[in-house]
């Protein structure tokens, strides 16, 4: 897998998590812990994307 395709996959995964977080925030009864965990996953992916973008330059 090339670096650019890996970054694209990470971006897709990040967007999927964003959509899921938004949906859960609107849903009643969703635990804050669950949302916080998804946000942590999003942040890790975002940091990985940034790291790979810098490495590609």
Q: What is the pLDDT of residues 14-57, one digit of tens each?
A: 999 999 999 999 999 999 999 999 999 999 999 999 999 888 77
Q: Taking residues 6-21, what's their average pLDDT? A: 97
What is the value of pTM for the model shown?
Answer: 0.87
For residue 19, count CB atoms less than 10 angstroms from its CB and return exposed for 0-12, middle for 13-18, buried for 19 or more.
exposed
For the chain, the farthest-separated pair of C-alpha atoms sits apart, in whole angstroms, at 44
With tokens 């973008």, the residue in question is 53
Domain coordinates in residue numbering, the chain: 3-56
CA dist., res. 31 & res. 39, Å (int): 13
Strand boundaries in the chain, DSSP class E: none
């Amino acid at each position: 897998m090339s670096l650019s395709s890996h970054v694209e996959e990470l971006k897709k995964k990040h967007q999927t998590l964003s959509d899921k977080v938004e949906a859960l925030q609107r849903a009643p009864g969703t635990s804050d812990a669950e949302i916080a965990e998804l946000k942590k996953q999003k942040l890790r992916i975002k940091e990985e994307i940034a790291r790979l973008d810098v490495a590609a330059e």
